[in-house]
Chain A
């Protein structure tokens, strides 16, 4: 059974860089059927897609975060990571990693998300 687990600091200072890693177990990250994504949820609010990555390193980012965002993959460790720079209080959220399932239709990319990690709360505060 595929499982994902987020890890990283729970507290980040304003203007610094938020860094999280997602470890995938029970399956290989090097699958041509999936991207691997990050989604966040501010406390008490809805879901926002951040970005996704293919095992080859190809990425797709939310335009609203693209200038501050780097998503990378380490296939040898079955992990992918998120770096978000110049954070503010608005970046306080629960950050989820998830498998981003491809439609498997020729020429198309990722679609729905599942399964998800449990999520990790990151608070931006001095």
Chain B
């Protein structure tokens, strides 16, 4: 199984400031045959189901604000929120889909400082 490890486990950022969440995979999730990174990011607000933010490591899902961006390749990935809003308080998860079983990171809890 590909193990996904996120850092930090929790993060407190001031409103309007940048938030950065990292995700590392135990093996590369890049496919040279498709030239794509098989990684997605989700946001889970309190009491809600997860919501897809980004797939292919950097493609924003329709309707997701452009303050959310994804980057990285191979084994190291980053989710960045450029200017934190109050509604961004949530737990964020990365997920690899290069191979089954599909696996998620343990989550990063984002709070307001």
Contact = CB atoms under 8 A, between A and B. Distances in A.
Q: Bin the interface of chain B by size.
A: 20 to 34
A111 B40 contact: yes
A64 B103 CA distance: 12
A105 interface: yes
A103 B104 CA distance: 18
B104 A119 contact: no
Given A111-B38, A113-B50, A46 B93 contact: yes
Nearest to A48: B104
B32 interface: no
B93 to A, nearest CB: 6
Interface string B17-54: 00000000000000000100010101000001111100
Contacts of A110: 97, 102
Contact of B104 (A47, A60, A117): A47
A118 B51 CA distance: 11
B49 A96 contact: yes
A112 B50 contact: no
Interface in A102-126: 103, 105, 110-119
The 10 A-B pairs of least Cβ separation, nearest first, read A114-B52, A116-B49, A111-B97, A112-B40, A49-B102, A47-B104, A112-B55, A62-B101, A46-B106, A46-B107
